[in-house]
Amino acid sequence: MAKVLGIPATVLQWDERRTPQAADVVKALEADPTITTVGCIHHETTSGALNDVDAIGKAIHAHNPDLTYIVDSMSGFGAYPVDMEGSHIDYLVSSANKNIEGVPGFSFALCRREHLRRCKGNARSLAMDIYDQWEKLDATRQFRFTPPTHAMVAFHQALQEHAAEGG
C-alpha cells in the first residue's frame, strides 16, 4: 500500500520459519530516525507464524513513544489475546469472518481515539478515510456509505457466541 501511495517505507523481511524479534525492529528504527509508523502482522496465515506483537509494541514504545503502531490481526484477532493498552497498539485491524466466525464483508479497526483525532485530513483516499468514517458514525450513527447490514448482524451474533464460549 505504501508503495502504491508513494509513501516511503522500510520493509523488514524474515525467513518464514523465523518471527521478527523486537530487537530487530528497534535496530531498524535506530538506523532510520525518519520512520514514524510500525506495522506488524499478528498471525501470518500462510506460514502459521504468530508474531509477538506485545514485545514489539513495548520495544518500539520504549524506543520512541511517538511512533504509531498498527497491527494487522486479520487471522489473529479472536483466537489470540491482544492487550492493546499494554502493547501500545494504536490501531488494530481485523475482519468479522475469520476467528470471530462472522460472514465475509465487514472489516473493522480498533483505534486509540486520541491518536485517531490527530489523523483528520491525512487520508489519501476516500474509501480508506477511517477518521471521516468515525466522525460521521459518531455524529449521525450512520455509515458514510451503504453498510453491509447482513455482515454486521452476523458479526454481532458471532461476537455474542464468542463471548459465550469464553472469548
How far from the centroid of its chain's Cα atoms is residue 156's Cα?
20
Judge contact between 88 and 55, C-beta under 8 A. Answer: no
pLDDT of the chain, 167 residues: tens digit per residue: 888 888 999 999 888 778 899 999 999 999 999 999 999 999 998 888 999 999 999 999 999 999 999 999 999 999 999 999 999 999 999 999 999 999 999 899 999 999 999 999 999 888 889 999 999 999 999 999 999 999 999 999 999 999 999 98
Output the pTM of the full model.
Answer: 0.93
- What the block records as the C-alpha cell of 87 is 502493547
Pick among 3.40.640.10, 3.40.50.300, 1.20.200.10, 3.40.50.1220: CATH of 2-164: 3.40.640.10
